[in-house]
A and B are shown apart, each in its own frame.
Chain A
């Protein structure tokens, strides 16, 4: 499944093969294998080098309990309070309210509601002993299952490039979303009453304006008119999609060629498939897993990866919406990404330091029952801790994987490694070169580093970069930078260029034979 060149004796790519990172310094992020100046490739859109210092963002201080104690009028009648509790927190809230106000209700009612409440709690404790994530609060849950490293502390909560044009949306920790477009002077800021703890953003493909936002207890789909000059689109521009029991929403994914949107919540066992235009949804229930945490739609639209909080993930095919289960992992599936042709899925598992691959060989156009699916996942890369020698001394790299990103051409794979600050292993991004056809290859490429003392929190490839691939990284200090990888695509090979396997690998040292060409093509 992972055929390496014959000269390459290692079966699996590991960090030991990587060139050591340069000592990080300077304003821009370092991409240490490239000898091109990043600014050259980014001069056309300077406005997109963004900086959000955490101090400038007002902390989100609307704790639910605090606002309740500050504003609730305790002279309300029992009926009003019960109605409010029912609306806010459902049956358990109502029972709680009745049990707490025993002075005002008949004794039998108070006692019976206390009993029912105790029973409910007992049942739910049983339930949450099966699925421990259910004991988390919504915020904790979002932080736990987000693709962003240290989500609750992060100034930039989420980031999304538009799939077709140079435009991006940034969700900030003050619950606002800003939209940057280098071609336009206005920067719309999106705010909405329901837009709290944004966990994910995604632009609708084949559309200029629609942006899906995964919020605390609903989904918002903003329609931001690109020609409008307004900097504060009203909340009337947002469609609110909510479904009982579907909160917090931690992941959203648009179908690449259609009107469908899938959303996931760790508390809801069903994955919702929305027809956004008509605001209707179809819940897809399956037993097991206890929720859905992360969704990723394959770029060809034929499959969806759905990770659950337990050691199980599913791959749905989108023709008839059947799924295949992948149980018996070591932990939950933390992240995953698809190759551009949708034939290969790479995923990482919490608690492990390796990348697995699944290959789907069937024809995506045929309505078949997942028979062409793989039988087993193979390990394609190992990112366990390694010591690398640099001129400044040895540094430790590696660790658990936070997220994965594959560039839209399928040539670079970025792996966000969590690291362990206590053990002296910083979080970092390791970049692999990949080749999908004729054989799947994964070759080490380099590390992406930021300024000293910063760590990457979030990364995404820019789908509209013309000269290769461009990785957008949000750093812990609130900066967003863009790291270009310039190469000729292997799809239109040039003589003497582009992933020819004839070049010998020399123990992880960069071997740059291609300086004479227009763009550097670095084989490490």
Chain B
């Protein structure tokens, strides 16, 4: 644990922070041309090109422009800081509307939204300053015909609208970021240099920001038209300004109040449709919104590009103090998540492209002659893959029983009852997880998102299994806690608490074996350290059944309410996506293993890979079977959907397809390399048959 802490520290300090700083520096640098372009666009005048250019130049070089530029730099740095603080490599997938709502309302997210709102106002202020003219200040002195009481200050609504647009876009950026997982950082299959990647993505970013600004503007104008009075009045009251009530007073023949004597004011109020649909106003608002989003998106883009850059870890080091930075150590670590991802990516790349580093992997330790490096790497990859297999099997079991019986409540309860009595299966699976509690999932950015109203009681441990809360992964104690509050699973369409005979028959049959072995007190050998017996084992079962009954009642009651149904319904596809949310590591593990094994055919001088080959093959085949079964489930589409054009990265939605294809390719890579030699590998008859299919190219 100590070493992993140490490695986490050095990595975040030495690599991630520097990458984030570099990305922020580049965004600040890029702010210059962006701002110049913005100034040119916003001050555009078709008929006075020379005046236009000279005005822009003088504006860009003025001292006040430099002040607002510094403000913009501050905003960009802030956005970069938030990117660093909130990013995640494992997306948080809300499995129901209520979970999504919980994410949106979470305090951490609230801070994010608030800060972005403020930053939006700041950027909009800079924009207003740049545009000048009628946008320049919030108040303006009303020129009055009868010089009665000196200059009056009136509210400049153009300025106000611009500021509100900034705030609105800032908030919606934050909100959309949650819904579309904008803080998710995905890794690319293709490696490209940073500059080229940025160049390739830039047109998309510009397009996305323009489109997003347009949508935001539309929504904002609607809102402002209907509810704009409130901020207007509030601002006036606070700052003691006048509202220009030119049109309304004029037409309604209201008696002018003493403060509203600004008949000749050139600035109108903006509460009529025609005044809001002023083309120049719309253009200015749209360009400002696009500018705001563009600078932020570029910051996000640069952060993603920098942070996902390949990092080459040394395979072995000559000095022991650097040992914690080596690939075999780093790959087994769990925190931070990005470290594990980068390590596995490096493994996949070295296995594919770098013969010299592969030789290091296949080498033996100098005193002793043990293949420590290969053992560590293969063990980690295999445990990742078998984790996934178990996850899939558990999910499949849950869905299969429920799907058939149309009643999750009973089936699930039966399961949770038995498992809280200590079923072997669940204990075994928990054991698998205990060496790394929650590690796979917890990232700085993702923790907060999950703990929320709906998901509030789930620990990060259960996150990938949010779709099936009754899965044996979540600890019984937790489940009991969540039980009464967590009607999510049971409220899926068509579920009722009628106890179907199928379930009655099926439940005990499924779990009888486990109860037996529990009675025998002989848990099967588990790879992890000593099993941690769940405390629920000690609880009297009547309490459990009582709680179950209450839970059923609550579920039954709630299931009849439409709104609640809507909120708690599982989103289609979400469970499958959540199951494969972190599958990028599995893909790399598969690639790394299969390439190393294939390379070992000619490069492994000591035959160290051969000792692991049966395990690798059986793990791959088991996973293959589990994945095949998963894709045969109903509600899992067999083809990836098409991505929308926005900044939110939805590559996590297709990870399962990538995994399926990589898995097959990996098995084929091994069979194509070894060919008939695989007959000499020891494996079960079923696996041999399966492998034969691969050897004959019939999968």
Binding site for B on A (CB under 8 A): 162, 164-165, 167, 206-209, 226-227, 239, 257-260, 273, 275-280, 282-285, 319-322, 363-367
Within 8 A of A (CB), among B635-685: 639-640, 642-643, 651, 654-655, 657-658, 660-662, 664-665, 668-669, 672
Asked whether B352 is an interface residue with its Cβ less than 8 Å from the other chain, the reply is yes
Asked if B191 and A319 make an inter-chain contact with CB atoms under 8 angstroms apart, the answer reads yes
Asked if A283 and B200 make an inter-chain contact with CB atoms under 8 angstroms apart, the answer reads yes
Asked whether B63 is an interface residue with its Cβ less than 8 Å from the other chain, the reply is no
Please name all residues of chain A whose beta carbon is closer than 8 Å to the beta carbon of B200 when the two chains form the complex.
282-285
Please name all residues of chain A whose beta carbon is closer than 8 Å to the beta carbon of B606 when the two chains form the complex.
none
Asked whether B563 is an interface residue with its Cβ less than 8 Å from the other chain, the reply is no
A212, chain B: closest CB distance, angstroms: 13
User: Given the known A-B contacts A208-B699, A365-B354, are A277 and B669 also in contact in the complex, defined by CB atoms under 8 Å?
Assistant: no
User: Given the known A-B contacts A162-B697, A259-B662, A321-B192, are A279 and B669 also in contact in the complex, defined by CB atoms under 8 Å?
Assistant: no
Partner of A207, one of B189, B651, B664, B696: B664
Please name all residues of chain B whose beta carbon is closer than 8 Å to the beta carbon of A276 when the two chains form the complex.
661
Asked if A259 and B353 make an inter-chain contact with CB atoms under 8 angstroms apart, the answer reads no
User: Which 8 pairs from chain A and chain B are nearest by CB?
Assistant: A277-B661, A278-B654, A206-B668, A208-B697, A165-B697, A277-B658, A206-B665, A277-B657
User: Given the known A-B contacts A239-B639, A321-B192, are A257 and B352 also in contact in the complex, defined by CB atoms under 8 Å?
Assistant: yes
Please name all residues of chain B whose beta carbon is closer than 8 Å to the beta carbon of A283 when the two chains form the complex.
200
Distance, CA A209 to CA B697, complexed state (A): 8
In the complex, besides A206-B672, A277-B657, A278-B654, 12 extra interface pairs with C-beta distance below 8 angstroms are A226-B697, A226-B698, A226-B699, A275-B189, A277-B660, A278-B640, A279-B642, A279-B654, A280-B651, A321-B192, A364-B353, A365-B354
Please name all residues of chain A whose beta carbon is closer than 8 Å to the beta carbon of B353 when the two chains form the complex.
319, 364-367
Sample of 29 A–B contacts (CB below 8 Å):
A162-B697, A165-B696, A167-B697, A206-B669, A207-B664, A207-B665, A208-B668, A226-B697, A227-B698, A258-B352, A259-B189, A275-B189, A277-B662, A278-B655, A278-B657, A279-B654, A280-B643, A280-B651, A282-B188, A282-B190, A282-B200, A285-B200, A319-B191, A321-B190, A321-B191, A321-B192, A364-B353, A365-B354, A366-B354
The proximity string for B residues 257-279 relative to A, scoring 1 for CB distances below 8 Å and 0 otherwise, is 00000000000000000000000
B: interface residue count bin: 35 or more
Distance, CA A300 to CA B210, complexed state (A): 43
Please name all residues of chain A whose beta carbon is closer than 8 Å to the beta carbon of B595 when the two chains form the complex.
257
- CB-CB nearest in chain A for B659: A277
Please name all residues of chain A whose beta carbon is closer than 8 Å to the beta carbon of B660 when the two chains form the complex.
277
- CB-CB nearest in chain B for A285: B200
Asked if A365 and B356 make an inter-chain contact with CB atoms under 8 angstroms apart, the answer reads yes
Tell me the number of A-to-B contacts counted with CB atoms below 8 Å: 90
Please name all residues of chain A whose beta carbon is closer than 8 Å to the beta carbon of B642 when the two chains form the complex.
279
Asked whether B524 is an interface residue with its Cβ less than 8 Å from the other chain, the reply is no
- CB-CB nearest in chain B for A364: B353
User: Given the known A-B contacts A206-B672, A285-B200, are A258 and B698 also in contact in the complex, defined by CB atoms under 8 Å?
Assistant: no
Distance, CA A283 to CA B672, complexed state (A): 31
B216, chain A: closest CB distance, angstroms: 25
Interface of A is mostly: loop
Distance, CA A512 to CA B258, complexed state (A): 117
Distance, CA A260 to CA B352, complexed state (A): 14
User: Given the known A-B contacts A162-B697, A208-B698, A365-B356, are A257 and B669 also in contact in the complex, defined by CB atoms under 8 Å?
Assistant: yes
Please name all residues of chain A whose beta carbon is closer than 8 Å to the beta carbon of B215 when the two chains form the complex.
none
Asked whether B196 is an interface residue with its Cβ less than 8 Å from the other chain, the reply is yes
Distance, CA A257 to CA B353, complexed state (A): 11
Distance, CA A319 to CA B355, complexed state (A): 14
Asked if B190 and A278 make an inter-chain contact with CB atoms under 8 angstroms apart, the answer reads no
Distance, CA A164 to CA B669, complexed state (A): 11
- CB-CB nearest in chain A for B661: A277
Please name all residues of chain A whose beta carbon is closer than 8 Å to the beta carbon of B696 when the two chains form the complex.
165
Asked whether B193 is an interface residue with its Cβ less than 8 Å from the other chain, the reply is yes
Please name all residues of chain A whose beta carbon is closer than 8 Å to the beta carbon of B697 when the two chains form the complex.
162, 164-165, 167, 208, 226
A460, chain B: closest CB distance, angstroms: 19
Please name all residues of chain A whose beta carbon is closer than 8 Å to the beta carbon of B352 when the two chains form the complex.
257-258
Interface of B is mostly: helix
- CB-CB nearest in chain A for B699: A208
Please name all residues of chain B whose beta carbon is closer than 8 Å to the beta carbon of A257 when the two chains form the complex.
352, 595, 669
A370, chain B: closest CB distance, angstroms: 13
Distance, CA A258 to CA B661, complexed state (A): 10
Distance, CA A257 to CA B351, complexed state (A): 12
Please name all residues of chain B whose beta carbon is closer than 8 Å to the beta carbon of A275 when the two chains form the complex.
189-190, 658
Please name all residues of chain A whose beta carbon is closer than 8 Å to the beta carbon of B654 when the two chains form the complex.
277-280
A505, chain B: closest CB distance, angstroms: 35
User: Given the known A-B contacts A260-B189, A319-B191, are A278 and B658 also in contact in the complex, defined by CB atoms under 8 Å?
Assistant: yes
A222, chain B: closest CB distance, angstroms: 13
A35, chain B: closest CB distance, angstroms: 32
Asked if A273 and B658 make an inter-chain contact with CB atoms under 8 angstroms apart, the answer reads no
Distance, CA A63 to CA B661, complexed state (A): 37
Please name all residues of chain A whose beta carbon is closer than 8 Å to the beta carbon of B192 when the two chains form the complex.
282, 320-321
Please name all residues of chain A whose beta carbon is closer than 8 Å to the beta carbon of B669 when the two chains form the complex.
206, 257
Please name all residues of chain B whose beta carbon is closer than 8 Å to the beta carbon of A227 when the two chains form the complex.
698
- CB-CB nearest in chain B for A164: B697
Please name all residues of chain A whose beta carbon is closer than 8 Å to the beta carbon of B657 when the two chains form the complex.
277-278
- CB-CB nearest in chain A for B664: A207
Distance, CA A191 to CA B387, complexed state (A): 41
Within 8 A of A (CB), among B14-54: none
The proximity string for B residues 186-220 relative to A, scoring 1 for CB distances below 8 Å and 0 otherwise, is 00111111001000100000000000000000000
Please name all residues of chain A whose beta carbon is closer than 8 Å to the beta carbon of B643 when the two chains form the complex.
280
Distance, CA A321 to CA B188, complexed state (A): 13
A253, chain B: closest CB distance, angstroms: 15
Distance, CA A284 to CA B658, complexed state (A): 21
B371, chain A: closest CB distance, angstroms: 22
Within 8 A of A (CB), among B604-642: 639-640, 642
Please name all residues of chain B whose beta carbon is closer than 8 Å to the beta carbon of A259 when the two chains form the complex.
189, 658, 661-662, 665
A492, chain B: closest CB distance, angstroms: 15
Asked if B651 and A278 make an inter-chain contact with CB atoms under 8 angstroms apart, the answer reads yes
Among the interface residues A239, A279, A283, A322, which one has the most CB atoms of the partner chain B within 10 A? A279
Please name all residues of chain A whose beta carbon is closer than 8 Å to the beta carbon of B698 when the two chains form the complex.
208, 226-227
A488, chain B: closest CB distance, angstroms: 20
Among the interface residues A275, A277, A279, A284, which one has the most CB atoms of the partner chain B within 10 A? A277
Distance, CA A285 to CA B595, complexed state (A): 30
Asked if B699 and A365 make an inter-chain contact with CB atoms under 8 angstroms apart, the answer reads no
Please name all residues of chain A whose beta carbon is closer than 8 Å to the beta carbon of B639 when the two chains form the complex.
239, 279
A203, chain B: closest CB distance, angstroms: 10
Asked if A273 and B190 make an inter-chain contact with CB atoms under 8 angstroms apart, the answer reads yes
Please name all residues of chain B whose beta carbon is closer than 8 Å to the beta carbon of A364 when the two chains form the complex.
353
Partner of B196, one of A208, A321, A363: A321
Distance, CA A363 to CA B639, complexed state (A): 38
Please name all residues of chain A whose beta carbon is closer than 8 Å to the beta carbon of B658 when the two chains form the complex.
259, 275, 277-278
Asked if A258 and B665 make an inter-chain contact with CB atoms under 8 angstroms apart, the answer reads yes
B206, chain A: closest CB distance, angstroms: 15
A125, chain B: closest CB distance, angstroms: 26
Distance, CA A322 to CA B353, complexed state (A): 16
Distance, CA A276 to CA B643, complexed state (A): 14
A302, chain B: closest CB distance, angstroms: 8
Partner of A365, one of B188, B190, B355, B664: B355
Asked if A320 and B191 make an inter-chain contact with CB atoms under 8 angstroms apart, the answer reads yes
Distance, CA A427 to CA B334, complexed state (A): 64
- CB-CB nearest in chain B for A162: B697
Distance, CA A164 to CA B667, complexed state (A): 14
Please name all residues of chain B whose beta carbon is closer than 8 Å to the beta carbon of A277 when the two chains form the complex.
640, 654, 657-658, 660-662
Asked if B193 and A320 make an inter-chain contact with CB atoms under 8 angstroms apart, the answer reads yes
Distance, CA A111 to CA B189, complexed state (A): 49
Please name all residues of chain A whose beta carbon is closer than 8 Å to the beta carbon of B661 when the two chains form the complex.
207, 259, 276-277
Please name all residues of chain B whose beta carbon is closer than 8 Å to the beta carbon of A366 when the two chains form the complex.
353-354
Please name all residues of chain B whose beta carbon is closer than 8 Å to the beta carbon of A367 when the two chains form the complex.
353
Distance, CA A159 to CA B352, complexed state (A): 30
B624, chain A: closest CB distance, angstroms: 13
Please name all residues of chain A whose beta carbon is closer than 8 Å to the beta carbon of B354 when the two chains form the complex.
365-366
Distance, CA A162 to CA B698, complexed state (A): 12
